[in-house]
């Protein structure tokens, strides 16, 4: 199982990320050393997937602290300079709540140690980021075990976007559920929607599922209705970038349409996400900011030839929101949540494990 795509090199004081922009054609590593390169990695899709974004943000906080240390030492005002960098990092991508969560976890750690010096904070933050990386894979494995109980031997599972090991620190959320079911001896096959325009399903889900020996077939996004009608989909399991307090789910663009089709054909629609993706501060999906990305991802899907006429306007919303009434259950590391979600999410957030 992929779990080494986020690597910290202590000797070089550098975070290395497997650059997902080039998969599956080649494997390249992107070095992250400061605030600028952390934001670049997040915004340019070097790393993506809510849990992976949260872990990267935690390492990014440490790298921000080291950057302040290099530039200012412990001169008066270093705290304000560091806080300014953290605020900028927190706004790098607006929809994925795990980015904010990762930074706030590090801020809470700092706030709990008043008077700590910058060198000591750097050391403590690096240890905390490494622990968060390990904890994320453990969380995903618990979530996978919880979700595997919902899959039956022989199930054909549709996914949308990549919510596997590459989207986390290891194992995965939605695809982690598949891995756990396979580990239990169940024969599971996966239909990976290509997920335009960035093709996370075709490039990333198929890449890692194939590496792990799971039967996977890539499908065009607009084939979902036909595949469901033909009986080629038994369950849908997707990830999430933010889940509102009422159970509305923000995930990769196109998820809402898949959920509508699943309801039409009577197919269970499951969402798998860690408790850190549950956002009690966001009442409903209407309150979730939706990121709009560069038109070039649509006009130049292979970053080479243009497929859209010159000067044509483009919609490139990165996410949409699936209303809670279309969600059969939310699979988390704290259990499988059922409607009414306002109550089950509130209970889950009160639990510590």
What is the architecture of the domain spanning 147-350?
3-Layer(aba) Sandwich (3.40)
Q: Which residue has the tokens 């899907």?
A: 301
- What the block records as the tokens of 154 is 């022989």
Distance in Å from the first CA to the final CA of the chain: 24
Taking residue 101's Cβ as centre, other Cβ atoms within 10 Å add up to 25
Contacts of residue 196, defined as CB under 8 A and 6 or more positions apart, other chains included, come to 221, 254, 298, 301
Tokens (6 digits) for 240 = 């999430």
CATH of domain 6-140: 1.20.120.420
Other C-beta atoms closer than 10 Å to the C-beta of 187 total 12
pTM greater than the 0.85 cutoff: yes
**Distance in angstroms (rounded) separating the CA atoms of residues 193 and 184:** 25
Distances from the Cα of 87 to the Cα of 92, 145, 318, angstroms:
9, 36, 22
pLDDT score for 4:
87
- Per-residue pLDDT of 34-90, as tens digits, reads 999 999 999 999 999 999 999 999 999 999 999 999 998 888 899 999 999 999 999
Catalytic residue from among 241, 248, 279, 320: 241
Q: What is the pLDDT of residue 2?
A: 65
pLDDT at position 63, please? 98
For the question of residue 241 being annotated catalytic, the response is yes
Domain boundaries defined on the chain: 6-140, 147-350
| pLDDT by position in tens, the chain (length 353) | 566 899 999 999 999 999 999 999 999 999 999 999 999 999 999 999 999 999 999 999 999 999 999 998 888 899 999 999 999 999 999 988 899 999 999 999 999 999 999 999 999 999 999 999 999 999 999 999 999 999 999 999 999 999 999 999 999 999 999 999 999 999 999 999 999 999 999 999 999 999 999 999 999 999 999 999 999 999 999 999 999 999 999 999 999 999 999 999 999 999 999 999 999 999 999 999 999 999 999 999 877 789 999 999 999 999 999 999 999 999 999 999 999 999 999 999 998 65
Say if 6-140 and 147-350 have the same CATH topology: no
CA-CA-CA-CA torsion sign (94, 99, 104, 110): negative
């Amino acid at each position: 199982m992929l779990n080494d795509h986020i690597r910290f090199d202590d000797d070089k004081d550098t975070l290395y990320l497997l650059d997902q922009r080039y998969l599956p054609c080649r494997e390249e590593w992107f070095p992250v050393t400061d605030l600028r390169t952390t934001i670049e990695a997040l915004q340019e899709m070097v790393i993506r997937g809510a849990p992976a974004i949260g872990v990267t943000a935690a390492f990014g906080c440490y790298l921000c602290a080291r950057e302040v240390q290099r530039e200012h030492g412990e001169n008066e005002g270093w705290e304000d300079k560091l806080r300014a960098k953290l605020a900028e990092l927190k706004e790098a991508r607006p929809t994925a709540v795990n980015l904010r969560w990762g930074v706030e976890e590090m801020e809470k750690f700092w706030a709990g140690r008043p008077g700590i010096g910058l060198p000591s904070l750097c050391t403590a933050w690096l240890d905390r980021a490494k622990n968060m990386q390990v904890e994320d894979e453990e969380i995903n494995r618990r979530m996978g075990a919880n979700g595997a109980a919902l899959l039956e031997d022989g199930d054909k599972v549709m996914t949308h976007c990549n919510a596997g090991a590459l989207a986390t620190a290891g194992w995965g959320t939605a695809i982690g559920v598949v891995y756990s079911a396979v580990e239990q001896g169940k024969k599971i096959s996966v239909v990976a929607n290509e997920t335009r325009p960035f093709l996370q399903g075709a490039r990333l889900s198929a890449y890692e599922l194939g590496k792990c020996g799971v039967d996977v077939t890539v499908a065009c996004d607009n084939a979902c209705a036909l595949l469901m009608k033909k009986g080629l989909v038994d369950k849908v399991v997707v990830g999430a970038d933010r889940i509102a307090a009422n159970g509305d789910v923000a995930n990769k663009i196109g998820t809402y349409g898949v959920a509508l089709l699943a309801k039409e054909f009577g197919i269970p629609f499951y969402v798998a996400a860690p408790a850190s993706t549950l956002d009690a501060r966001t009442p409903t999906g209407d309150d979730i900011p939706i990121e709009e990305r560069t038109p070039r991802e649509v006009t130049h899907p292979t970053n080479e030839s243009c497929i859209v006429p010159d000067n044509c306007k483009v919609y490139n919303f990165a996410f949409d929101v699936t209303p809670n009434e279309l969600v059969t259950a939310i699979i988390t590391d704290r259990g499988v949540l059922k409607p009414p979600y306002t109550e089950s999410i509130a209970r889950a957030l009160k639990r510590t494990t």
